[in-house]
Chains A and B, each alone.
Chain A
Amino acid sequence: MNIIPLFVALPLAVAFIIPMLSRKFKWFPDIAGNITTLILAGMSFSVIGKTGIYSMGAWEAPIGIVMVLDGLSVLLLIAVNVIAFASTLFSVNYMDRYTSKLRYYSLFLLMVAGMNGVVLSGDLFNLYVFLEIASVASYALVGFGCEHEEIEASFKYLVLGTVASAFILLGIGITYGSIGSLNMAQVSEQISLSGMNNALLFAVALFIMGFGLKAALVPFHAWLPDAHPSAPAPISSMLSGVLIKALGIYTLARILFNVIGVTDTILNILMVLGAVSMVIGVLLALGQWDFKRLLAYHSISQVGYIILGIGLGTPLGILGGLFHLINHSVFKSLLFLNAGAIEYSTGTRQLDELGGMKEKMPVTGGTSLVASMSIAGIPPFNGFWSKLIIIAACIQAGRPVFAALAVFASILTLASFLKVQKYAFFDKLKDKWKDIEEVPVLMRLSMVLLALLCIVMCVLLLPLLNTGLFDNIDILGPAVDALMKGTAYAVRVLG
């Protein structure tokens, strides 16, 4: 049996079983949520190296709705489902402070279903529908605490997110009007036959605006520093770790590379957007004292790296961008979980009020050190390799200015995380934190899991050396292939 549709169907089913059963069994949401995300993570590992096309209701590609699994989808599926598992593991204890676990898990699984749907969809409008499912669930989750700041952030996110969706829908409408099809493969085929026209260029502009808003690239980033810190910690780690990537970067890359087909102008726009986000994000992050807000600004900056890498358009650049995408989802989620753990124990996120957490919370301290080193690009950790590849790709493509900006942003990132480490973990322990304790075991487990991933992720680079030994873990190669082949996507899907 083909498991592609189950990536969407399973979380949707559990999301609706949870409200039915958990009125009788209080423990049900926790167990069901964790088992579901664990199964999803296992399923996403089982599709490594596979490709496939699934036609809904056995209607073939140009007429019916298809789901397409290729290298890029596999990469995103793994990122989404592994982070989702770590987040649910963390939520078991963390979410005790909030009122309704039932609604939390229900919305969480809807969000996962939406993201899995986005990365698998082969149809433009279907992509929009899944994108809205994931977005609506995330709007509700950002405002989950129902306090002043959370509602305000949620409203801001909701307004900007809806504007982005309207742009995207208008773009899809224009594409349909000028091509006469919604199937991505067929649109791509028609464009390569007839070439671009003005209406399509307008649609491309709308797509860049809409998906750029979802990905929080710099001119469109205003909602992110409010929305991500306001959510509960596991949700922040989902939002920053995978949501902006699945809804923003993946869709942008897929539509620009595989459907429309990239030109030099588009690549230049992407590179400039990426470089600007990279620098401005990190500059804004330097002045922050709220732990989670600082991390949110770093998300903008790191998304800039990914877009810069993908925007270079060379195989090495795309490899760096995609590798940084999966690395960033691991270490940024870990950092948000660390922030959540600190908030769980102390009740504050202000760095200047903390200090000496390393003695009282060794696991949190240790894992956050790993993640900080990783995001700042210190050699043995995964962040170093992806940044190195991006910078090397910039130089190889003859764009030393972008390379210099990437190095500059990396140094500022290091400075910013040294500040975090010093104030939060290494400083003298303050008197008022004498009695705090390390977080419960499940929370520790999920942090340690992600920290281990941070260390071992560089094995993902091994298959690229063509030794023939590691071919069964080759995740990045097919993903780069999927983007590099560009509009050959159409041939693959339509057969």
Chain B
Amino acid sequence: MIYTLCLVLFMVGLYGVLVKKNIIKIVLGLIIMEYAVNLFLIFLGYRIGGVAPIITRGADLVEFTKNSVDPLPQALVLTSIVISLGVIALMVALCIRLYERYGTFDITEMRRLKG
């Protein structure tokens, strides 16, 4: 159920990318998409009432694996957030340059490339 909501969020982002004409809104759509994926990854590893995945000395391993949340998706999300930081910074940089060149944020007016 909750995974479906992630997928809905993903689709909202995709809708933004495909339909909106303002390039800033396209960028926001991409950000929403990436966040939907990140949320999905976090949900994968989450367990209701789980404990933090840190083994203390003398802990019962069987008990621990039964209760702890999965730490791997958290690491993945951290990495993918950093990647999207880089991509989004580049994207915003390109938006500023596009605004400098064309004087507009409207993608339909940027039509130098055809064919």
Q: With A155-B23, A163-B17, A163-B33 in contact, is A149–B112 under 8 Å at CB?
A: yes
Q: Which of A128, A129, A139, A166 contacts B90 (CB 8 A)?
A: A139
Q: How many Å from the CB of B6 to the closest CB on chain A?
A: 9
Residues of B within 8 A of A169 (CB): 34, 37, 41, 80
Q: How far, in angstroms, from A173 to B14 measured CA to CA in the complex?
A: 18
CB 8 Å contact bits of B91-111 with A (1 = contact, 0 = none): 100110110011000000010
Q: How many Å from the CB of B100 to the closest CB on chain A?
A: 9
CB 8 Å contact bits of B67-97 with A (1 = contact, 0 = none): 0000011001001100100110011001101
Q: How far, in angstroms, from A132 to B84 measured CA to CA in the complex?
A: 9
Residue of B nearest to A226 (CB): B113
B17 and A148 contact, CB distance less than 8 A: no
Residues of B within 8 A of A182 (CB): 72
A149 and B113 contact, CB distance less than 8 A: yes
Q: How many Å from the CB of A270 to the closest CB on chain B?
A: 24
Residues of B within 8 A of A304 (CB): none
B40 and A170 contact, CB distance less than 8 A: yes
Residues of A within 8 A of B112 (CB): 148-149, 152
Q: Which of B10, B72, B83, B86 contacts A170 (CB 8 A)?
A: B10
Q: Which of B23, B41, B98 contacts A173 (CB 8 A)?
A: B41
Q: How far, in angstroms, from A140 to B40 measured CA to CA in the complex?
A: 29
CB 8 Å contact bits of A135-151 with B (1 = contact, 0 = none): 01001100100111101
A288 and B115 contact, CB distance less than 8 A: yes
B115 and A225 contact, CB distance less than 8 A: yes
Residues of A within 8 A of B44 (CB): 173, 176-177
A152 and B98 contact, CB distance less than 8 A: yes
Determine the interface band of chain A, counting residues with CB < 8 A from chain B: 35 or more
Query: Is A437 close to B, CB under 8 A?
Result: no
Q: How far, in angstroms, from A143 to B102 measured CA to CA in the complex?
A: 15
B window 33-47: CB within 8 A of A: 33-34, 37, 40-41, 44
Q: How many Å from the CB of B93 to the closest CB on chain A?
A: 9
Residue of A nearest to B80 (CB): A169
CB 8 Å contact bits of B9-44 with A (1 = contact, 0 = none): 010011001000001001000100110010011001
A158 and B40 contact, CB distance less than 8 A: no
Q: Which of B33, B41, B115 contacts A293 (CB 8 A)?
A: B115
Residues of A within 8 A of B95 (CB): 155
Q: How many Å from the CB of A9 to the closest CB on chain B?
A: 19
Q: How many Å from the CB of A114 to the closest CB on chain B?
A: 12
Q: How far, in angstroms, from A176 to B94 measured CA to CA in the complex?
A: 34
B14 and A143 contact, CB distance less than 8 A: no
B37 and A159 contact, CB distance less than 8 A: no
Q: How far, in angstroms, from A160 to B81 measured CA to CA in the complex?
A: 18
A151 and B87 contact, CB distance less than 8 A: no
Q: Which of A129, A151, A226, A288 contacts B94 (CB 8 A)?
A: A151
B101 and A148 contact, CB distance less than 8 A: yes
Residues of B within 8 A of A166 (CB): 10, 13, 30, 33-34, 37
Residue of B nearest to A230 (CB): B113
Question: Which of A146, A158, A230, A290 gathers the greatest number of chain B CB atoms within 10 Å?
Answer: A158
Q: Which of B34, B79, B90 contacts A140 (CB 8 A)?
A: B90
Residues of B within 8 A of A177 (CB): 44
Residues of B within 8 A of A287 (CB): 115
Residues of A within 8 A of B23 (CB): 155
Residues of B within 8 A of A151 (CB): 94, 97-98, 101
Q: Mark B residues whose CB is within 8 Å of A.
A: 10, 13-14, 17, 23, 26, 30, 33-34, 37, 40-41, 44, 72-73, 76, 79-80, 83, 86-87, 90-91, 94-95, 97-98, 101-102, 110, 112-113, 115
**13 further A-B pairs in the complex, CB-CB below 8 A; given A129-B79, A162-B33, A173-B37:** A140-B90, A149-B113, A151-B97, A152-B112, A156-B113, A159-B26, A163-B14, A165-B87, A169-B34, A169-B41, A176-B73, A182-B72, A287-B115
What are 26 of the A-B contact pairs (CB < 8 Å)?
A: A125-B76, A128-B80, A129-B83, A136-B90, A143-B97, A146-B97, A149-B112, A149-B113, A151-B98, A152-B112, A152-B113, A153-B113, A154-B94, A155-B23, A158-B91, A159-B26, A166-B10, A166-B33, A169-B37, A170-B10, A173-B37, A173-B44, A176-B73, A177-B44, A225-B115, A287-B115
